[in-house]
Amino acid sequence: MLGIVAVVLLIAWAKVHPFLSLILGAAVLGVVASVAPDKMITSFTGGVGTTVGGVGLLIALGAMIGGLLAESGGADGIVTRVVGRVSGRALPWAMAGVAALIGLPLFFEVGVVLLVPIVLLVSMRTDVPLMKLGIPALAGLSVLHGLVPPHPGPLVAISSLNADLGLTLGLGLLVAIPTVIISGPVFGNFIARYVPATAPAALLPTRRQPTAPAGSTDPAVSSAPAGSAAPAGNAAPAGSAGTTDRRDVDGDLLTDDDLVNPGGGRPGEPVDDSGTETSRRTPAFWPAVITVLLPVVLMLLRAIGELALDEGTAGRKTLDIVGTPIVALLAGVILAMFTLGYQAGFSRSQVSSVLGGSLPPIAGILLIVAAGGGFKQVLVDAGVGNLVADAAKDANLSPLLLGWLVAVGIRVATGSATVATITAAGIVAPLAATLDRPGVALLALAIGCGSLFFSHVNDAGFWLVKEYFGLTVGQTIKSWSVMETLISVIGFAGVLLLDLVV
């Protein structure tokens, strides 16, 4: 177990990046377990390759859908449509639902960046306490991030335990619904009385004005590119006066961003399309929703087909193919290119820029997940998992409880839900062989629930929430940390209840 202790100490005490910590922890584990150096290296690199091939592609495709959803304004459109049609008392429930929907394809941090400014604005306009809206939104994002693929944690657990992705997805959604309700609107209504919060003015979302009358002094226009002229009703790109429009080989108008920084966009940051604002339009509500849900629906259909259709039939084969995670997510990306890209007014080069720009931010996550896969494989090959499994049998602990407890311990110590999931899945993997298909899926969910337990000062998400909501450390612990603990406990309780009936 010294390898696990080394990872915890390197991350929590030495502040070493999790990627390096996992590599060094695997080395310590190999030395302590007397694994030959060449076999240890082979084991680690094999685990890295398997994890990247199985999980990395899915993370990348999910990030692309999330990038287009963010850049096109589709996420804002979904939020505005839902919030605009509900009353004040229903707003917390609407925010929880919207966050859960937005959280399907988006990483937690991207979801926070997109959704929290809207929460701040809605709170200011409706006079609803900020925590009463913020906690449901955070709960929706966090639960989906920890329990439902294609997020990295659930995917790693599914891969490590050889769980059925479609079945895990379906059971995860069943667990997620009551968990979001209790830890979101219900808890938010309670904690809003004890944690007064005011929306930070600097973070309130403002809309950039694309046009301005000549000579306007409107601050929104002052951010236009240097040297741009502003005749009535139009805004011209910098340096465009007296020059010919620059176009690519497809005939699309090139912007400065296309020429200087192609593929350099980031989720949550707008593509620089100065001078083309009049052609930009927010994607329609239902196409955006369908795009978000398409991969989920395809994977669920595959799981239903496995239960309802005979093996070898044409329908079963078709669902097996289209419901394969990489195919389902790829279909989502292709659909998003049209519904969230071209239909929103993006040119082909700009869609390419958004897709390319969605990949660099996930590089760190991919490396951590890959190193975690290598660490997990060294754990397995060194026999550590079997030792823990034997100890669990002697202690009469159920695999579900053991997986949850191990994930809780690693999460509290390191602050990383991903590291907690990877480590716990590697340790309890031998126990998965003793479980049936639903049991393995529930084990993956139990680990996911444990990985969300009590976020505190060693978790980047803690500071993200603190700064976005303008809270003190104490207020963040009372609200965010307690909410995360509720998610972990309530989610695990749901897993145990499902274990009684499936």
For residue 426, pLDDT over 70 is answered with yes
Whole-number pLDDT of residue 389: 56
- Bridge-partner residues for 247, per DSSP? 253
The span from the CA of 99 to the CA of 94, in Å, is: 8
Contact 447, 157 (CB under 8 A): yes
Which of 69-78, 388-397, 479-488: highest mean pLDDT? Answer: 479-488
Burial 431-456 (b: 16+ CB within 10 A, else e): bbeebeebbbbbbbbbbbbbbbbbbb
When pLDDT is averaged across residues 416-445 and rounded to a whole number, the result is 89
pLDDT band at 24 (very low <50, low <70, confident <90, very high): very high
Q: How far is residue 418 from each of residues 166, 282, 482, measured CA to CA in Å?
A: 21, 34, 19
pLDDT band at 273 (very low <50, low <70, confident <90, very high): very low
Closest CA to 491 of 444, 425, 433: 444
pLDDT band at 112 (very low <50, low <70, confident <90, very high): confident
The span from the CA of 448 to the CA of 494, in Å, is: 12
Q: Pick the more confident residue, 52 or 136.
A: 136
The span from the CA of 12 to the CA of 34, in Å, is: 26
Left if phi > 0, otherwise alpha if psi is -120 to 50, otherwise beta: which for 245? beta
Condensed to tens digits (0 to 9), the pLDDT of residues 366-418 reads 888 788 888 878 877 887 666 665 665 567 788 999 999 989 988 887 777 88
Question: Please, what is the average pLDDT of the chain?
Answer: 79
* Structure tokens, 184: 């979101």
Q: Determine what percent of the chain falls in helix, strand and coil, rounding each to the nearest 5.
A: 70, 0, 30
Say what percent of the chain tops pLDDT 70: 80
- Bridge-partner residues for 158, per DSSP? none
pLDDT band at 279 (very low <50, low <70, confident <90, very high): low
Question: pTM for the whole thing?
Answer: 0.67
For residue 229, pLDDT over 50 is answered with no
